A and B are shown apart, each in its own frame.
Chain A
Amino acid sequence: GAVVSQHPSWVICKSGTSVKIECRSLDFQATTMFWYRQFPKQSLMLMATSNEGSKATYEQGVEKDKFLINHASLTLSTLTVTSAHPEDSSFYICSALQGAVETQYFGPGTRLLVL
């Protein structure tokens, strides 16, 4: 089956630093990847849609200068949280689409804690 990985699985950083999260499709090419954020005991909120070779499309209310997304290849998308603050602490999950398949394949998530 289609497998999506994320790295790191968890990260703790100091306020003001930048953190990069990688999302990889391991056994398929993903033209589209999605980034979600999930706060404790809440649902997933779509942050942005990432298409290979083009700029990401951000959802309303998501600062594109703060959450930099790069989808440089068909198997890798990265999310960089710039100048992280404690309120950015959350669970970040990516997903990937395999061609015309309707199902999104989700990564295991990255837990970010900003001190």
Chain B
Amino acid sequence: SQQGEEDPQALSIQEGENATMNCSYKTSINNLQWYRQNSGRGLVHLILIRSNEREKHSGRLRVTLDTSKKSSSLLITASRAADTASYFCATDPGSARQLTFGSGTQLTVLP
């Protein structure tokens, strides 16, 4: 069964605005990763944050991790229409490196 839940399930914003997506999980993790999926396509890795990290940046992306609350957030700043996609968090418990995916957030950026 899925470990993670994401909210919101769907988010619609105007180009230029910021988008924030949240992910909650249930068990201990080694790292948490965020992926993007365009409709009907494969997944693109965005960013990985380890359990001993609290915040990470990559370009317009900012990820936070709160292991005490078992939650993470993904912030996309200055959104573009091309950011329209589904975003998934995935947790890696450690040695087996099997990912468990969250339910996903469908982001729509309106031009």
Contacts and interface: CB of A to CB of B under 8 A. Distances in A.
A102 B97 contact: yes
Query: Which bracket fits the contact residues of B?
Result: 20 to 34
A46 B97 contact: no
Contacts of A4: 42
B24 interface: no
A8 interface: no
Query: Which bracket fits the contact residues of A?
Result: 20 to 34
B88 A43 contact: yes
Interface string B73-109: 0000000000000001000100011111111101000
Interface in A78-115: 91, 93, 95, 97, 102-109, 111
B88 A106 contact: no
19 contacts: A4-B42, A34-B99, A41-B106, A43-B88, A43-B103, A43-B104, A44-B88, A45-B101, A49-B96, A93-B42, A102-B48, A102-B92, A103-B45, A104-B45, A105-B45, A106-B43, A108-B42, A109-B40, A109-B41
